Amino acid sequence: MQEILHFIGGEFKASQSNQWIDNYNPAEGKIYSKIADANHKDVELAYQAADKAFPAWSETPIEKRSKILLKIADLIDENFETLAKAESIDNGKPVSLAKAVDIPRAAANFRFYAKAITQFSGKAFESQGLKTHNMTLNQAIGVVGCISPWNLPLYLFTWKIAPAIAAGNTVVAKPSEITPMTAFKLAEICVKADLPQGVLNIVHGRGQTAGQAIVAHPQIKAISFTGGTATGQHIAKTAAPLFKKMSLELGGKNPNLIFADCNYEKMLSTTVKSSFANQGQICLCGSRIYVEDSIYEQFKTDFIAKTKALKIGYPLEASTEFGALVSKEHLEKVAAYIKIAQEEGVKVLTGGKQIQLKDHKEGYYFEPTILEVDNNNCRINQEEIFGPVVSLMKFSSDEEALNLANETTYGLSATIWTNNLNRSMRFSQKIEAGIVWVNTWLNRDLRTPFGGIKQSGLGREGGFEALEFFTEQKNICITFE
Ligand code: NAD
């Protein structure tokens, strides 16, 4: 059985304890590889390797660092088919989605930061008449920790690692123990790209052990984390007393506001995607759909019909649009929410049940599910399900729509469908979210700041924001005669 090994100091290693975790193929419900299960001793080894590599890497000329990042991006492209297939098998996502989104974006992350770092520099402040000059240096922090979730495995792993190493840091990174395969393959790519040993160290294992050891390590000076809000709270409690820099990208319960004056066809097809892409397992999915009452019934009929037409199937089949959920535990969590919905008197309009695929009866498939809600405070509308479950609710005024959208502890993203410019601007200003999409969804320019407010996170990633996070600014003040 294939072994997924740690990558420490440029070498592939099992855990010192020789402990392993079973890795499941969610489309078949079967164990297909085993993952080295790190504890604090393996994390310490990874830290030592990163610490050793830091002086040389942080002093490597930017052009050279940039070239290595570009080489990694090229190698991701060269291994496109293999990586897409690996991501699909490990996560259960349709291979078509891995090809369209996950793998191209992983390459784009490296390519973007290879270029961004060449444009990133300090500032100068000339105090005229005082014979004083101030300037700032953006210095690499040292060894940093990057921890990522299972929903967009290589996409989010590289979104952290690329800016961290571009800025001259060395890294101890941990992908999710549920989807470690493409991070393991990235290590092989880094060897081929001649990334110096110890610049990127990847440990595999559980959050409570390996992840916790990274967060609690006194010499790892910054933590970039993407995952659930409860985990983020726990990480913050550990890292804050150690005065670590923290970037926390957490959960969401995002509103999708649909007004009668929108471009209906575009809205409808995009809303199917924003509801069910990646089986609804994207932090930016619009899981609370609010529809203006004059088009509510029409929308309901059309949306149910389009959802029912989604091709659910084995993820490696090219035509599959909707694959398997990531794990048995997650499938059970989603199913439990349908029970909660029924207990709360919420109506199931379509879906709501586990599916047994003809040739893959043990796989973790669940129907795309649409619920109808009349109380915004029900658990279905307040808690992140992170699966193929959306709720519909109608509204009759702008004010009501805004209140419904903001009535949540989360604040990651929001989508508004309207052709009224004034309304789109008013809502964009008032909606409590880190990103607002008007007449579009998941439309990302990597230069823009990305992150959430409220319980969706702390800090911003993307563009120069990530390079700022992964550097410390130092002010130098010089007087002259
Ligand atoms: P999770 O919080 O369970 O795990 C995320 C990562 O943290 C994993 O690698 C895990 O092993 C690790 N981890 C768990 N406990 C830890 C601990 N105590 N210390 C250190 N590390 C620990 O999240 P998940 O189930 O993998 O991912 C789903 C969640 O991620 C959802 O809430 C989703 O909204 C969120 N998410 C957010 C964004 C964003 O950009 N805001 C993007 C994708 C996913």
Q: For residue 442, what is the DSSP state? A: S
Tell me the C-alpha distance between 244 and 58, whole Å.
19
For the CA of 249, the nearest atom of ligand 1 = 41
Tell me the C-alpha distance between 274 and 282, whole Å.
9
Average pLDDT, the chain: 98
Q: At what angle do helices 293-308 and 264-276 cross, to 10 degrees?
A: 60
For residues 84 and 93, the answer to whether their CB atoms sit within 8 Å is no
Per-residue pLDDT, 277: 98
Tell me the C-alpha distance between 240 and 332, whole Å.
33
Q: What is the tens place of the pLDDT at every residue in 21-66?
A: 999 999 999 999 999 999 999 999 999 999 999 999 999 999 999 9
- Find the residues whose C-beta lies inside 6 A of ligand 1: 147-151, 156, 174, 176-177, 206-208, 211-212, 215, 226-228, 231, 234-235, 249-252, 283, 384, 386, 412, 452, 457
| Nearest residue to 113 via CA among 455, 446, 448, 476 | 446
Helix then strand count (H, E) for the chain reads: 16, 25
Alpha helices (runs of H) in 10-142, residue ranges in sequence order: 40-58, 62-78, 80-91, 95-97, 103-116
| Mutation pick for ligand 1 pocket among 283, 385, 413, 460 (CB with most ligand atoms within 8 Å) | 283
149 C-alpha to center of ligand 1: Å?
4
| Mutation pick for ligand 1 pocket among 231, 285, 330, 435 (CB with most ligand atoms within 8 Å) | 231
For the CA of 176, the nearest atom of ligand 1 = 9
Per-residue pLDDT, 355: 97
Per-residue pLDDT, 370: 98
User: Which residues participate in catalysis according to the annotation?
Assistant: 249, 283
Q: At what angle do helices 153-166 and 80-91 cross, to 10 degrees?
A: 120
pTM of the model: 0.98
Q: What is the tens place of the pLDDT at every residue in 214-255?
A: 999 999 999 999 999 999 999 999 999 999 999 999 999 999
Q: At what angle do helices 181-192 and 153-166 cross, to 10 degrees?
A: 40
